[in-house]
């Protein structure tokens, strides 16, 4: 009797739970039904504008194809692979969810997902990118709202017009981009290839990795066979068909703007002040700082000079006075790799760190004439530790050289001596002050850039020098509005004065020595090879490690930073170093074409004086053929005596 009562009670509890779930589930659907209808034909419409207010093409879906105008093969391939029960469920495939949970729990890995097409479409419509539970709940509500207000065909149509086909959004754009045809004309081979891309656009784009794309294509074709949409012989024939990509390889240069677009979207994701209610508005307008002249100057220069197509590169052009990012590329070919090295990668920066070391030196009493001896040197420390850096090509003066010469030749011995003389905490302090917000190990090799720093942080730091000491935050988006012009967000720069203007001016002048012919002597300036290309004055510093080439340069209007190297850290060559320098020179010259040196260089501060000195020794010039005007704070210009600090550094001359 007790067992019967217990069973009856258990069944009652189960029934109550089922009823409760059904009531809650029904209540959610009723709530969704009573909500306003989402305008899916235009929702998630991103409209991008450059710094002059002109709309520009970003690969976003501009051509909306009706379901009747999309190949049946593409539709079948998508449903069979992504959501074979699409026409049977109401937004969530609970059996698939349960199966995915069992597989993931048993394997201990997140191997299988269970998102339906409706769920994926709701993500495409949802412009907040955080991974919180709040977002997941909102996505679920959007999924239910879509299912209650729209037919399955309408949802599928919207999904196919918004998904990512390797940086190209929407099936009509993808069909045109890859095969130069309309979506309705895609054959089985083409459709099965495109249907495989959205699962992992960077990996399964045939332009990025054809081998992986073909493997994915076979998965799609097999799913179509299993669902009896095609025969096995049709699948094999489609797989064997050689596909010709009409547009993807024609002009990779123009695709580089999409790295800028991705950076814009990352910044949009971080803006918390944009209300989620703009989903109801049918789209937003994003006013960016993209300067079409800057971007084309950068892209044209890359196309002209970066002859090694296997190497990767990244570049950023910024207005140092406001922080506006004018142009950007995160790689050599967006089709092959969407990884944005300009905003995401960290690499060793080599000698490009030295200007910040030398600012600290100038701030602490150094002048352009201050000398250290340049020779093979072993630095000795407590505990028997030693450090033996070398100069590039093992070239040394074997005598004292000025700070100006050390900058011109990028002398490593001088840099380490300066670093140790100032104290190893001085350089990290300056780097933090100019906005590189990371912890640096206080070691001798930091003076030679043995620390990994992001390109954006470096460009921003150089921007502080270019703006005569004002730190600004780099940014891509100036304003965001809804479709009616109501402002949802607007950025107002707030430069912060962190460096002394007089000292910055002296350093900026010193950085022109990197291409000054007056410094041709036992060594040559590091950027002398590009001097014939430069029609105006720039502060420039290049840097090289075994795996990286970098160059940063600026005047008061613009700062441009470039990096090149290999993602797998393969060693770079001398030719690669030459290519990136020429890329820099051509890009900045083309962008500033039409502006004179007087317009783009700095006015000498009243407390700074120029003096003709011998470039190598830093002493007052006695030979007019070996003289260079260097700049000093008044009262610190050189006398007949040489200023040397060698005795203050713990070194042992190498034998």
Q: Which are the catalytic amino acids? A: 82, 351
Following DSSP, what letter does each residue of 135-178 receive, concatenated?
Answer: HHHHHHHHHHHHHHHS-HHHHHHHHHTTSBSSS-BSHHHHHHHH
Rounded to 5°, the CA angle 88-93-94 comes to 125
Q: What is the dihedral of CA 21, 26, 28, 29, to 10 degrees?
A: 140
For 108, the enclosing helix (H) or strand (E) is none
Question: Tokens at residue 33, please?
Answer: 């039904």
User: Residue 377's beta-bridge partner residues?
Assistant: 653
Strands 452-454 and 651-653: unpaired
Q: How far is CA 392 from CA 398, 409, 411, in A?
A: 14, 9, 8
Residue 397: which of 616, 614, 613 has the closest Cα?
Answer: 616
- Alpha-carbon distance of 239 to 225, in angstroms, equals 13
Question: Tokens at residue 558, please?
Answer: 């613009």
- Alpha-carbon distance of 511 to 507, in angstroms, equals 6
Question: Tokens at residue 105, please?
Answer: 């729990």
Question: Tokens at residue 88, please?
Answer: 């049977």
Task: Give residue 435's region: left, alpha or beta (phi > 0; psi -120 to 50).
Answer: left
With b for 16 or more beta-carbon neighbours within 10 A and e for fewer, the 476-502 pattern comes to bbbebbbeeeeebbebeeebeeebbbb
DSSP 3-state of 553: strand
Residues in the chain: 655
Residue 285: which of 264, 306, 299 has the closest Cα?
Answer: 264
- Alpha-carbon distance of 482 to 6, in angstroms, equals 60
Strands 399-402 and 386-387: unpaired
Torsion 76-79-84-89 (CA) sign: negative
DSSP 3-state of 510: helix
Question: Tokens at residue 300, please?
Answer: 């044209």
- Alpha-carbon distance of 540 to 537, in angstroms, equals 9
Where in 545-606 does DSSP place strands (E)? 548-554, 559-565
Phi, psi of 628 (to 5 degrees): -140, 135
Count the Cβ atoms, other than its own, within 10 Å of residue 222. 16
- Alpha-carbon distance of 40 to 280, in angstroms, equals 9
Question: Tokens at residue 186, please?
Answer: 């895609």
């Amino acid at each position: 009797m007790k067992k019967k009562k217990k069973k009856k009670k258990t069944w009652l509890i189960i029934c109550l739970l089922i009823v409760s779930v059904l009531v809650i589930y029904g209540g959610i659907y009723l709530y969704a039904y009573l909500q306003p209808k989402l305008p899916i034909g235009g929702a998630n419409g991103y409209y991008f504008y450059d710094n002059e207010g002109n709309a520009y093409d970003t690969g976003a879906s501009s051509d909306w194809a009706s379901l009747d105008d999309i190949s049946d093969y593409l539709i079948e391939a998508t449903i069979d692979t992504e959501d074979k029960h699409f026409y049977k469920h109401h937004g969530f495939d609970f059996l698939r969810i349960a199966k995915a949970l069992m597989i993931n729990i048993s394997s201990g890995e997140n191997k299988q997902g269970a998102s339906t097409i409706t769920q994926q479409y709701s993500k495409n419509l949802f412009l907040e990118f955080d991974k919180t539970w709040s977002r997941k709940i909102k996505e679920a509500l959007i999924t239910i709202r879509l299912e209650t207000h729209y037919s399955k065909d309408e949802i599928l149509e919207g999904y196919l017009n918004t998904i990512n086909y390797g940086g190209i959004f929407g099936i009509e754009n993808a069909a045109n981009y890859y095969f130069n045809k309309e979506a309705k004309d895609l054959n089985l081979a083409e459709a099965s290839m495109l249907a495989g891309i959205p699962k992992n656009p960077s990996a399964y784009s045939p332009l990025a990795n054809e081998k992986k794309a073909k493997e994915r294509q076979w998965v799609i074709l097999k799913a179509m066979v299993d669902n009896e949409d095609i025969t096995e012989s049709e699948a094999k024939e489609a797989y064997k068909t050689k596909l010709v990509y009409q547009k993807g390889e024609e002009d990779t240069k123009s695709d580089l703007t999409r790295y800028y677009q991705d950076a814009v979207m990352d910044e949009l994701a971080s803006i918390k002040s944009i209300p989620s209610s703009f989903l109801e508005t049918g789209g937003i307008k994003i006013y960016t700082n993209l300067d079409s002249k800057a971007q084309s100057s950068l892209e044209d220069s890359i196309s002209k000079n970066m002859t090694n197509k296997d190497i990767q590169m990244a570049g950023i052009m910024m207005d140092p006075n406001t922080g506006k990012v004018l142009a950007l590329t995160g790689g050599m070919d967006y089709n092959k790799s969407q990884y944005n090295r300009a905003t995401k990668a960290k690499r060793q920066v080599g000698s490009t760190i030295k200007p910040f070391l030398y600012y600290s030196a100038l701030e602490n009493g150094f002048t352009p004439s201050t000398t250290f001896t340049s020779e093979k040197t072993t630095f000795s420390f407590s505990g028997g530790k030693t450090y033996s850096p070398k100069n590039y090509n093992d070239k040394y003066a074997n005598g004292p050289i000025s700070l100006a010469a050390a900058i011109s030749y990028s002398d490593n011995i001088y840099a380490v001596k300066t670093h140790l003389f100032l104290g190893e905490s001085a350089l990290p302090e300056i780097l933090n002050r100019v906005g590189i917000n990371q912890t640096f190990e206080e070691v001798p090799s930091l003076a030679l850039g043995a620390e990994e720093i992001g390109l954006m942080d470096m460009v921003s730091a150089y921007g502080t020098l270019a703006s005569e000491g004002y730190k600004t935050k780099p940014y891509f988006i100036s304003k965001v509005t809804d479709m009616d012009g109501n402002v949802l967000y607007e950025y107002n720069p707030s430069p912060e004065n962190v460096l002394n203007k007089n000292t910055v001016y002296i350093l900026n002048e010193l950085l022109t020595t990197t291409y000054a012919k007056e410094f041709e002597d036992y060594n040559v300036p590091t950027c002398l090879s590009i001097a014939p290309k430069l029609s105006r004055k720039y502060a420039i510093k290049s840097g090289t490690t075994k795996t990286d080439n970098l160059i940063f340069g600026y005047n008061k209007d613009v700062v441009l930073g470039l990096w090149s190297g290999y993602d797998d850290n393969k060693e770079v060559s001398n030719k690669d170093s030459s290519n990136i320098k020429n890329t820099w020179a051509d890009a900045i010259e083309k962008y500033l074409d039409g502006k004179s040196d007087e317009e783009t260089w700095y006015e000498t501060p009243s407390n700074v004086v120029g003096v003709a000195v011998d470039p190598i020794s830093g002493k007052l010039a006695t030979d007019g053929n070996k003289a260079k005007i260097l700049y000093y704070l008044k009262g610190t210009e050189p006398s007949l005596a040489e200023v040397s600090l060698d005795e203050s550094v713990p070194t042992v001359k190498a034998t």
